Structure formats: structure tokens, C-alpha cells
């Protein structure tokens, strides 16, 4: 993990996307309500980035099948199903509930030439709108897509053990209320990390080191959340003197004790991604979904679990 930078790859601009983007600029960008789908130039259509991502995931899934990597094949199949569902949502439906003909069909057509690193670039690229200025209503329509992709990206990156960087603080990202809800969750997880470290046997230096890394990352999230709130001029919640982890309080295993504190953080970070009002805020929150997903996966592996069993991160129980 590199904690010093926050570089997000630029969206991949294919010739097809370039031509489509040119047509959109000429026609104007409008977004209809969810039941009517997303409309570009008046015609319901899913976003280009979403369709390309869905097709790339489909392609990678097929490669895993040919390589007889069954768990990866199932994992990517579940991710593609969720992306295809979002494509259908954006296509919308008529009064009889039928989707427009051929809308989003490309999402089920596997692309070619997709290397392993390809998805690592496409996930964050799909969180972008190629720099377009969108209204608040348009951003709200894309919120569900951004939240979904952040959860899928986190799951994929954590399962693959991709290298990642922590996002850098950026003034005024998101809204204060969302970070005021995030901060107490982070306080509780930091408190739990101290208790978890005390549960690690003295001779188990590897487990101690990994849990310490999770704790250090949580402190960065805490500090950045406080900085965000201060940049908004908002009140900063104070930590409590102690926290209960509910059912986990009785667990003697350090990773099992700490683990339940991380999922609510991912849930809230996906909510921040959904509510984000510009690309900068979307990428900041999604980058933290990814980072916290890696922390979750670390604790899963310490418990003998497989992160491939989690195809979407940040799901509410």
C-alpha cells in the first residue's frame, strides 16, 4: 500500500466513445427520471463507461473460464450481473415495463484484448463523466451507478491484491452530514483496532503487523474526514471514551473482533460516493471504498476466509 498519493487513471477514450461524445455535445446532455432511464439527447441510454466496463468484466470472466479459475469466474459473473442490472435501469422502460429495443446490448458482448490490469483502469474510469459539467439532478441520477462501481472496484481490487494508494485530502469534497456520520464509525473502528492488537499473541508478529496496518489506515481516514469537515466549516464529532462491538465483544480472535467494524465504514463511504456532487468527490470517496475493502480482505484472510466470496463491498446487512 502506498499512502502518499491518489492518482486515478484517466477514462479510456475509444474512437467509438470519442464519436459518441461529439454527438452528445451537439445534442446536449439530459437525464430523465430513474423509471425512464438515463436520456442522452432525449433517447434512453446507459453511460458509455458503464457499458464498456460491463463488457470488459464479461470478457475477463470468459478468460477465467478458459483458464479453469472457477472462483474468479463466479466472482466476475456476479459482478457482471450487477452491472447488467444497472445498464437495464439506465435504459428505462415503457409504460408496459419493456426496455427499449437493443438498449445496452453491448454490455453482454465481451470485448477483446483485455489484460489483467485492464479492469483496474476501467473501474475508476467508469466513475468519471469525461470532465462533463453535470447539474445536481444529473449527478443524483448517476449516484446509484457510482456507488455500485465503487463497491465492485473495491471487491475486485481487494480480491486481486492490487497495489493501491490512499486518496489525498481535497477541500470541500462531499457534504458535511455524510462525513459527520462517517467519523463516529471510524472512531469506533480505531478503538477496536487497539483492543484487537491486545488480543494478538505476542509470538504472532505477522498478524500484529497486518492489524497495525489496518489501524494506521483508519487513522488516515479519520484525519482526512476531520479535515473535510473543517473545510466545510462544520462541527466535528468527538470520539467517545469507549465503544462496544456488540456480538464481537466476546470474540478472542483479533481479526474476528475487528472485522465487523469495517463493513459499516464501507457502507457509508459508498453512500458518500452516491451523494458526491462532482468527479473529485466521487473519486475521493470511491478511493476510500477501495482502501477499506483491502482492509476488510486483510482481516478475512487472517480468519481463513477468501475475499473472492465478496463480489460487492459496502453492502448493508
Q: pTM for this one?
A: 0.83
Question: CA-to-CA distance for 238 and 249, rounded, in angstroms?
Answer: 22
Question: CA-to-CA distance for 276 and 86, rounded, in angstroms?
Answer: 18
Q: How many CB atoms lie within 10 A of CB 144?
A: 14
Query: Residue 7 corresponds to which cell in the numbers above?
Result: 492518482
Q: Which CATH code fits 176-309?
A: 1.20.1260.10
Beta bridge partners of 29: 40
- Residue-wise pLDDT for 232-268, tens only, equals 999 999 999 888 877 778 889 999 999 999 999 999 9
Query: Residue 245: its pLDDT value, please?
Result: 77
- DSSP character at residue 7: -
Query: Residue 116 corresponds to which cell in the numbers above?
Result: 489483467
- Residue-wise pLDDT for 93-146, tens only, equals 777 777 777 777 777 776 655 445 588 889 999 997 656 666 676 777 789 999
**In sequence order, what are the residues at sequence separation of 6 or more whose Cβ sits closer than 8 angstroms to the Cβ of residue 88?**
99, 104
Per-position pLDDT tens, the chain of length 317:
654 433 333 333 333 332 233 333 333 323 333 344 554 445 557 888 888 899 999 999 988 987 789 999 999 999 999 999 998 888 887 777 777 777 777 777 766 554 455 888 899 999 976 566 666 767 777 899 999 999 999 999 999 999 999 999 888 888 999 999 999 999 999 999 999 999 999 999 999 999 999 999 999 999 999 999 999 999 999 999 888 877 778 889 999 999 999 999 999 999 999 998 788 889 999 999 999 999 999 999 999 999 999 999 999 86
Distances 251 to 48, 210, 267 between C-alpha atoms, Å: 46, 18, 23
Query: Residue 254 corresponds to which cell in the numbers above?
Result: 483479533
Residues 90 and 98 sit within 8 Å (Cβ to Cβ): no
Question: CA-to-CA distance for 122 and 50, rounded, in angstroms?
Answer: 9
Question: CA-to-CA distance for 110 and 55, rounded, in angstroms?
Answer: 5
Amino acid at each position: 500500500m502506498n499512502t502518499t498519493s491518489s492518482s486515478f487513471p484517466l477514462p479510456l477514450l475509444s474512437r467509438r466513445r470519442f464519436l459518441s461524445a461529439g454527438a452528445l455535445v451537439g445534442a446536449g446532455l439530459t437525464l430523465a427520471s430513474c423509471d425512464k432511464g438515463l436520456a442522452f439527447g432525449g433517447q434512453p441510454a446507459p453511460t458509455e463507461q458503464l457499458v464498456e466496463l460491463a463488457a470488459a468484466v464479461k470478457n475477463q470472466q470468459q478468460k477465467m473460464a478458459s483458464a479453469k479459475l472457477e472462483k474468479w469466474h463466479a466472482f466476475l459473473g456476479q459482478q457482471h450481473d450487477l452491472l447488467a442490472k444497472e445498464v437495464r435501469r439506465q435504459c428505462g422502460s415503457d409504460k408496459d415495463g419493456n426496455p427499449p429495443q437493443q438498449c445496452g446490448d453491448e454490455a453482454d458482448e465481451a470485448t477483446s484484448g483485455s489484460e489483467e490490469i485492464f479492469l483496474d483502469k476501467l473501474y475508476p474510469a467508469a466513475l468519471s463523466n469525461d470532465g462533463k459539467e453535470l447539474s445536481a439532478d444529473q449527478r443524483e441520477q448517476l449516484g446509484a451507478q457510482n456507488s455500485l462501481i465503487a463497491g465492485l472496484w473495491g471487491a475486485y481490487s481487494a480480491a486481486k491484491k492490487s497495489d493501491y494508494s490512499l486518496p489525498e485530502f481535497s477541500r470541500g469534497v462531499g457534504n458535511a452530514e455524510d462525513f459527520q456520520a462517517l467519523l463516529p464509525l471510524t472512531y469506533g473502528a480505531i478503538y477496536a483496532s487497539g483492543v484487537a492488537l491486545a488480543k494478538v499473541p505476542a509470538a504472532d508478529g505477522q498478524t500484529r503487523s497486518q492489524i497495525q496496518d489496518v489501524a494506521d489506515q483508519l487513522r488516515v481516514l479519520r484525519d482526512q474526514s476531520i479535515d473535510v469537515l473543517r473545510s466545510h466549516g462544520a462541527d466535528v464529532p468527538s470520539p467517545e471514551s469507549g465503544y462496544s462491538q456488540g456480538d464481537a465483544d466476546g470474540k478472542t480472535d483479533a481479526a474476528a473482533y475487528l472485522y465487523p467494524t469495517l463493513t459499516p465504514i464501507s457502507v457509508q463511504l459508498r453512500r458518500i460516493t452516491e451523494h458526491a456532487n462532482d468527479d473529485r468527490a466521487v473519486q475521493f470517496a470511491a478511493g476510500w471504498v477501495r482502501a477499506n475493502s483491502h482492509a476488510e480482505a486483510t482481516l478475512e484472510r487472517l480468519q481463513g476466509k477468501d475475499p473472492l466470496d465478496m463480489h460487492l463491498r459496502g453492502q448493508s446487512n
